[in-house]
Chains A and B, each alone.
Chain A
């Protein structure tokens, strides 16, 4: 079992996703779980962007000196633009749910919340 050699950008993106996953699995505080979800989201966006990179080329804004042959792939950037906005929207909804949960139960610990309901 040898470690696959991957780019440092892929490694960083995968690490961010895994750190987020660890937080979701292990943490008990609802806010920390939401932070972990945000970190996972960042990792996914970073992975998408780095897949679109073409070495030595510049941003896909065609201006003087930058023709269609000197630009990186614009599609992942458009996808990430969408993904970021959706991430912000879901985070806002989740945060307001957390606010209501705290008002109702007086705690953000997920185990205690479960106990109170049952």
Chain B
């Protein structure tokens, strides 16, 4: 047990920090319009990117470097988990198979969850969501398979290749933009080809946002499934 002194010291210092933070935030009015760049984004998002969802347009188009860094962080995390938990002989050691209701339910639900995940990342420029939520949804489907079956394993070779190919094609899309438009992650589909300019708000619009979000969705889905796979395996004796 932690001593009473330590607890009370922690509580006192936390209250001081909290008062200090609240004092600082009292100068930030809640619910008022504080946008500076936000107005520019909201007013120009349609003609500059072709997306109606301003958040995904910012994430992919205006601030695409952030997303590239984010994808890199996730890739390094999944590689790191793989490197930390690396053993020669690792297998799944689950003891009990799921009940009939669970296994049948998972088998029935699996295609629907994958379909819904794909829906989320394909429609990233129109509806809430995008590559990261869609990829996480797809990883959930594989997590369900891991939970329901004793000996299920993801197709490793396919998943690792998909992950690498998706990561490379994101950079490739950016490099094509560099070749066409003069800077990295230039939206060449929208600003050079004007492809989809006439059907704004429909599926085939949005410049390269659906392309990049499909790539990101595949990458995130395979990476999170790989992390789950690494964490659920245990070392077995020879």
- Contact residues of A with B, CB < 8 Å? 3-7, 9-11, 14-15, 17-18, 21-22, 25-28, 47, 50-56, 59-63, 68, 71, 73-75, 77-78, 81-82, 84-86, 88-90, 92-93, 95-97, 99-100
Cβ-defined contact, A6 with B30, below 8 A? yes
> Is B227 an interface residue, CB under 8 A from the partner?
yes
Cβ-defined contact, A99 with B30, below 8 A? no
> How many Å lie between the Cα of A99 and that of B84 in the bound state?
9
A93 partner residues in chain B, CB cutoff 8 A: 77, 80-81, 84
Lowest 5 CB-CB distances: which A-B pairs, in order? A55-B31, A89-B77, A7-B30, A4-B26, A68-B42
B17 partner residues in chain A, CB cutoff 8 A: 18, 21
A3 partner residues in chain B, CB cutoff 8 A: 19, 22
Q: A6-B30, A18-B18, A62-B54 are in contact. List 17 more A-B contacts (CB 8 A).
A: A15-B18, A26-B2, A50-B30, A55-B32, A61-B55, A62-B53, A63-B52, A73-B34, A74-B55, A81-B55, A81-B132, A84-B132, A85-B73, A85-B220, A86-B73, A95-B231, A97-B84
Q: How far is the CB of B76 from chain A (nearest CB, A)?
A: 8
B77 partner residues in chain A, CB cutoff 8 A: 88-90, 92-93
> How many Å lie between the Cα of A53 and that of B231 in the bound state?
38
Total residues of chain B contacting the partner, CB 8 A: 60
Q: How far is the CB of B84 from chain A (nearest CB, A)?
A: 5
Cβ-defined contact, B33 with A74, below 8 A? no
B67 partner residues in chain A, CB cutoff 8 A: 82
Cβ-defined contact, A71 with B84, below 8 A? no
> Is B41 an interface residue, CB under 8 A from the partner?
yes
A53 partner residues in chain B, CB cutoff 8 A: 30-31
Chain A residue nearest in CB terms to B31:
A55
B45 partner residues in chain A, CB cutoff 8 A: 62, 68
> How many Å lie between the Cα of A61 and that of B56 in the bound state?
9
Most buried by B among A15, A17, A59, A60: A60
> Is B102 an interface residue, CB under 8 A from the partner?
no
> Is B158 an interface residue, CB under 8 A from the partner?
no
Cβ-defined contact, B52 with A82, below 8 A? no
B132: contacting residue among A68, A85, A96, CB under 8 A = A85
> Is B94 an interface residue, CB under 8 A from the partner?
no
Question: If A14-B21, A22-B10 touch, does A9 touch B30 (CB 8 Å cutoff)?
Answer: yes
Cβ-defined contact, A60 with B80, below 8 A? no
Which residues between 75 and 120 of chain B lie within 8 Å of chain A, taking CB atoms?
A: 76-78, 80-81, 84-85
Which residues between 5 and 23 of chain B lie within 8 Å of chain A, taking CB atoms?
A: 6-7, 10-11, 13-14, 17-19, 21-23
Cβ-defined contact, A73 with B35, below 8 A? yes
> Is B181 an interface residue, CB under 8 A from the partner?
no
B78 partner residues in chain A, CB cutoff 8 A: 89, 92
> How many Å lie between the Cα of A91 and that of B70 in the bound state?
14
A22 partner residues in chain B, CB cutoff 8 A: 10-11, 14
Q: How far is the CB of B197 from chain A (nearest CB, A)?
A: 16
Cβ-defined contact, B58 with A74, below 8 A? yes
Cβ-defined contact, B11 with A68, below 8 A? no
A73 partner residues in chain B, CB cutoff 8 A: 34-35, 38
Cβ-defined contact, B42 with A71, below 8 A? yes
Cβ-defined contact, A7 with B31, below 8 A? yes
Cβ-defined contact, B70 with A75, below 8 A? no
